[in-house]
């Protein structure tokens, strides 16, 4: 037996196993879980559940022995956990009782009686009472029958065998009435008694309830650090970690699945006659719902496929190409929405047992599975809300749009052009150039106003089309149609701004080139730098003749360019705001927000330990003392065999609403940065670039589905029944 320095043992114990009711049910039980060894002097024992002798015998007396059962369960565990530890039989949990119901804690040739108050009433060192059905070993382990001894031998070959007893001398809460105490551990052929034990009570994670998580990964993990690290940092990185908390938390999150998988191998059958009628009614209801949803989805699938075939035949025509360019946002959002409507059964399909074994993985898979259709439902609800309002208020909306466009044309565009043709803000402009630019602008505005008046007769029908789009395809499709309509209605402003941008840019470039001519410099486009160049006299004369009028005409061109750039930028900002709204509707995790308000425990982030007990006691009362030793040797041994026990509860921190939502909004605001704003401002000043709508974070474009309608009906039917299985699994847990 090892008598060296105390080893560190962390015992992760389910809270429900420390109640007196559990002890009354199973006074002697077997523990299943994971043994995770961080180093030779530190290891973790994660207890998943406990079962009695009858349950263990039911697994070992079937066609498969315990080893095959454990191998089958390990194959269903997450791959990361399989690489670090394996699910196994850990040991036994002993709580012997005498005829008076007092707990017995045995050490070699003697026994202690501990009453319900935790006080010692008797200590008999010379007696040896019969303990259990088969007695005890010298180390204190219970002797078992042949089959259970084979299970114990299998556990010793794989990892360890831990003998754990209960201690009711001090309760730490209403739920925890017994504290597990590690009597000793068999590992690698030796019995270890001297242990500093940290008992951590945790609640079993269940799907839909709670689970544990270490929190966010550090953002600096993926950043390459080019600075040379000192040697002590490298030695620290090479040092074996004291605690593999990732594996521990992963095993805790898998504890409930391990219990469910183990119970599936047991031959004991539970009577469910009282639930027979309810189960039949539930199955019939789900079958009818699956048939109804699958039929409606198949009808919609046939309609979409028919439209897709018709559009594919006319996709090469010039009219279709022109309409696709004009209504590009609408086409893109319609394609995304149609693919979402076609792919909903694919997203609702089951992900398999491996993702369900870990509660954390199952929660992430469930949120990913339900995020698409919840976004679709919310979008359709908002679209129907907007559609009903627009349909009922079509005339009022038409009158407001007509009045707004007329006021914008008369009081902004026309008045602004007339103001620029005079002396705006006291600037002395070139009258001839200002008259030409102003006249061209007024003619373009008048022509487009006439066209808009003719198209205004169909404005009420356009508003109803937007309402129908919102009702059928959601608010995002209607908003995309509004963006394209605004862009089409302001084509004259965009055209005038584009022409003035060309004129302003050419004039700026000409003035810049002539200024370099006077300095004797020339721009080298290959090396992107200024080189010295000897110009001739004729070039200087021509440059002087051109430089003066271009420089004097620049203020006139600049004012017209600034005016129409402001108009274009205002329109672009309106379209950008609507596009950001579309992106936010697509990116918002509605299912997460709903469950964050309903059950915040499903969003853990980080752990903390609530320490309730810390004491140092002698371990000689639980160890085997040899009768051959002298009293001095025993006293010297008792003086050095001290161990520390630490008891704590495992708790989780939880994500705030901002932490839940913000990761989904990063793509929406990814193109908005200081550099992009500075680049746009520089482009406006030089006439090279004007503000345009950034790339919005739309959902990924999915390939078009083209399968037989019978196969699609079967896919929808199975998807609905998969939701039934998820509901049954959550109710069972």
pLDDT at 378 over 70: yes
Q: Are 679 and 565 in contact (CB under 8 A)?
A: no
Q: What distance in Å separates the CA atoms of residue 245 and residue 563, rounded to the nearest whole number?
A: 63
Q: Are 6 and 643 in contact (CB under 8 A)?
A: yes
pLDDT at 64 over 50: yes
In what helix (H) or strand (E) does residue 30 lie, and over which residues does it extend? strand 28-39
DSSP 179-206: EEEEEEEEETTEEE--EEEEEEEEPPPB
Greatest pairwise CA separation for the chain in angstroms: 126
What's the full length of the chain, in residues?
A: 733
Per-residue pLDDT band for 202 (boundaries 50, 70, 90) equals: very high
- Start-to-end CA distance of the chain, whole Å, equals 43
pLDDT at 733 over 60: no
More confident residue, 323 or 669: 323
Q: 130-188, pLDDT tens digit by residue?
A: 344 555 666 667 666 656 666 676 666 666 788 888 766 566 666 677 888 888 888 77
Q: 411-453, pLDDT tens digit by residue?
A: 889 999 999 988 787 777 888 999 999 999 999 999 998 988 8
Q: What is the pLDDT of residue 112?
A: 37
pTM of the model: 0.77
CA distances from 120 to 27, 163, 362, 625 (A): 20, 22, 48, 19
pLDDT at 114 over 60: no
Q: Are 568 and 459 in contact (CB under 8 A)?
A: no
Q: What distance in Å separates the CA atoms of residue 49 and residue 54, rounded to the nearest whole number?
A: 15
Q: Are 343 and 705 in contact (CB under 8 A)?
A: yes
Q: What is the pLDDT of residue 195?
A: 84
Q: Are 652 and 204 in contact (CB under 8 A)?
A: no
Q: What distance in Å separates the CA atoms of residue 421 and residue 405, rounded to the nearest whole number?
A: 23
CA distances from 708 to 679, 714, 718 (A): 51, 10, 16
Q: 341-365, pLDDT tens digit by residue?
A: 888 888 877 655 455 788 888 888 8
Strands 195-202 and 521-524: unpaired
Residues of the chain with pLDDT > 70, as a percent, come to 74
Q: Are 92 and 108 in contact (CB under 8 A)?
A: no
Q: What is the pLDDT of residue 242?
A: 67
Rg value, the chain, Cα? 39
Per-residue pLDDT band for 571 (boundaries 50, 70, 90) equals: very high
* Residue among 270, 257, 251 at smallest CA distance from 58: 270
Q: What is the pLDDT of residue 620?
A: 43
Winning range, highest mean pLDDT, from 412-421, 538-547, 642-651: 412-421
DSSP letter (8 states) at residue 63: S
pLDDT at 688 over 80: no
Residue 260 tokens read as 């469910």
Burial 659-668, CB ≥16 within 10 A → b, else e: ebbeebbeeb
The overall average pLDDT reported for the chain is 78
DSSP letter (8 states) at residue 600: G
Q: What is the pLDDT of residue 2?
A: 44
DSSP 75-130: HTS-HHHHHH---EEEEEEE-EE-TT--EEEE-SS-EEEE-TT--EEEEESS----
pLDDT at 496 over 80: yes
State whether the Cα torsion 410-413-418-423 is positive or negative: positive
* Residue among 667, 474, 493 at smallest CA distance from 575: 493
Taking the domains of the chain in order of start, what are their residue ranges? Answer: 7-94+138-218+245-268+608-651, 279-328+337-357+706-733
Residue 672 tokens read as 């908005």
Winning range, highest mean pLDDT, from 87-96, 134-143, 503-512: 503-512
Q: What is the pLDDT of residue 27?
A: 65
């Amino acid at each position: 037996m090892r008598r060296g320095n105390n080893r560190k043992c962390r015992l992760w114990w389910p809270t429900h196993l420390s109640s007196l009711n559990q002890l009354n049910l199973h006074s002697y039980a077997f523990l299943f879980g994971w043994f995770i060894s961080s180093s030779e002097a530190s290891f973790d024992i994660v207890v998943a559940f406990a079962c009695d002798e009858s349950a263990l015998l039911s697994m070992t007396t079937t066609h498969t022995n315990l080893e095959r059962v454990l191998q089958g369960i390990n194959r269903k565990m997450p791959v990361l956990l399989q690489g670090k530890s394996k699910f196994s039989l850990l040991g036994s949990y002993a709580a012997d009782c005498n005829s008076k119901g007092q707990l017995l804690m045995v050490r070699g040739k003697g026994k202690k009686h501990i009453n319900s108050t935790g006080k010692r009433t008797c200590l008999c060192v010379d007696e040896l009472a019969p303990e259990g059905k088969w007695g005890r070993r010298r180390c204190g382990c219970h002797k078992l029958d042949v089959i259970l001894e084979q299970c114990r031998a299998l556990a010793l070959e794989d990892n360890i065998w831990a003998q754990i007893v209960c201690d009711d001398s001090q309760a730490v809460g209403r739920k925890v009435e017994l504290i597990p105490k590690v009597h000793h551990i068999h590992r690698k052929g030796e019995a270890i008694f001297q242990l500093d034990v940290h008992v951590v009570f945790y609640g079993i994670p269940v799907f839909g309830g709670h689970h544990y998580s270490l929190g966010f990964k550090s953002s600096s993990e993926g950043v390459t650090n080019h600075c040379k690290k000192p040697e002590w940092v490298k030695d620290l990185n090479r040092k074996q970690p004291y605690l593999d908390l990732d594996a521990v938390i992963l095993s805790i999150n898998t504890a409930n699945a391990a219990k469910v998988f183990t119970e599936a191998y047991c031959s004991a059958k539970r009577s469910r006659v009282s639930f027979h009628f309810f189960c039949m009614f539930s199955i019939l209801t789900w079958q009818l719902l699956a048939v109804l949803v699958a039929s409606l989805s198949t009808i919609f699938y046939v309609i979409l496929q028919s439209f897709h075939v018709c559009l594919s035949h006319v996709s090469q025509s010039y009219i279709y190409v022109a309409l696709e360019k004009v209504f590009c946002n609408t086409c893109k959002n319609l394609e995304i929405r149609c693919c979402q409507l076609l792919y909903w059964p694919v997203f609702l399909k089951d992900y398999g047992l491996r993702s369900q074994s870990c509660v954390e993985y199952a929660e992430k898979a469930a949120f990913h599975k339900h995020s698409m259709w919840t976004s679709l439902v919310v979008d359709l609800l908002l679209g129907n809300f907007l559609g009903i309002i627009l349909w009922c208020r079509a005339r009022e909306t038409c009158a407001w749009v007509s009045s707004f466009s007329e006021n914008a044309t008369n009081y902004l565009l026309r008045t602004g052009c007339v103001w620029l043709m005079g002396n705006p803000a006291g600037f002395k402009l070139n009258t001839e150039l200002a008259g030409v630019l102003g006249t061209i602008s007024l003619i373009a505005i008048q022509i487009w106003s006439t066209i808009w008046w003719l198209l205004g007769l169909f404005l009420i029908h356009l508003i109803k089309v937007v309402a129908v789009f919102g009702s059928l395809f959601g608010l995002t499709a209607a908003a995309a149609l509004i963006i394209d309509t605004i862009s089409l209605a302001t084509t004259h402003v965009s055209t005038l701004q584009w022409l003035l941008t060309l004129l302003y840019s050419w004039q700026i470039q000409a003035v810049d080139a002539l200024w370099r001519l006077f300095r004797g410099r020339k721009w080298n486009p290959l090396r992107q730098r200024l080189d010295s160049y000897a110009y001739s006299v004729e070039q200087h004369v021509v440059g002087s003749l051109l430089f003066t009028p271009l420089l004097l005409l620049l203020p006139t061109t600049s004012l017209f360019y600034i005016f129409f750039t402001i108009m274009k930028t205002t329109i672009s900002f309106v379209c950008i705001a609507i596009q950001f709204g579309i992106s936010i509707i697509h990116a918002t995790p509605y299912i997460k927000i709903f469950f964050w308000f309903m059950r915040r425990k499903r969003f853990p982030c980080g752990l903390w330990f609530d320490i309730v007990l810390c004491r140092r006691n002698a371990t000689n009362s639980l160890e085997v003392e040899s009768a051959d030793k002298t009293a001095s040797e025993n006293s010297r041994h008792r003086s050095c065999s001290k161990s520390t026990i630490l008891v704590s509860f495992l708790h989780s921190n939880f994500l705030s609403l901002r932490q839940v939502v913000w990761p989904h909004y990063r793509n929406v605001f990814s193109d908005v940065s200081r550099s992009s704003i500075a680049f746009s401002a520089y482009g406006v000043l030089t006439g090279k670039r004007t503000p345009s709508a950034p790339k919005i974070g739309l959902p990924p474009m999915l390939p078009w589905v083209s399968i037989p309608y019978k196969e699609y009906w079967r896919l929808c039917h199975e998807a609905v029944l998969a939701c039934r299985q998820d509901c049954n699994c959550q109710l069972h847990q």
